[in-house]
Amino acid sequence: MNRFLTFVFVALMATSLNAETVITRIRLWKDGMTAYREEVAKIDSITFEHEYIPDAPEGATNGWFTINSNGDKVFFSKGNLQYNATTDGFSFAEHQWDTIGTNNRLNGTMDLFSWGTGRTPNSTTASTTFYDWGANPISNGGNQANQWRTLTAAEWNYLFMNRSTSLFGLGTVNGVKGLILLPDQWNGTGFNPGIKSYNNSKYTGAKWTDNTYTATQWAEMEAQGAVFLPVTGQRDGHSVTSTESFGGVYWTSSYASSNTAGMVYFTESDIRPSGHWHSYYGYAVRLVQSIAK
Q: Note the pLDDT of residue 17.
A: 47
Number of domains in the chain: 2
pTM of the model: 0.83
* pLDDT at position 6: 41
Mean pLDDT of the chain, nearest integer: 89
In tens, the pLDDT along 119-171 reads 999 999 888 899 999 999 999 999 999 999 999 999 999 999 999 999 999 99
- Please tell me whether residues 43 and 113 are part of one structural domain: no
Asked if residue 227 and residue 89 are part of one domain, the reply reads yes
Q: Is it the case that residue 212 has pLDDT exceeding 60?
A: yes
- Rounded to whole angstroms, the Cα distance separating 261 from 43 reads 49
For residues 45 and 86, membership in a common domain is answered with: no
pLDDT at residue number 3: 46
Q: Return the DSSP state at 224.
A: T
Do 244 and 104 sit in the same domain of this protein?
yes
Tell me which amino acid residue 141 is. G
Closest CA to 137 of 101, 87, 64, 94: 87
pLDDT in tens, 242-278: 777 789 999 999 999 889 999 999 999 899 999 999 9
103 backbone φψ class: left, alpha, beta (φ>0; ψ -120 to 50):
alpha
Strand-pair partners of 248: 266
The pLDDT tens digits of the residues spanning 65-103 come to 999 999 999 999 999 999 999 999 999 999 999 999 999
Classify residue 57: in a domain, yes or no: no
What does the alpha-carbon distance between residue 274 and residue 72 come to, in Å, rounded to a whole number?
A: 19
Residue 44 pLDDT grade (very low, low, confident, very high; cuts 50, 70, 90): confident
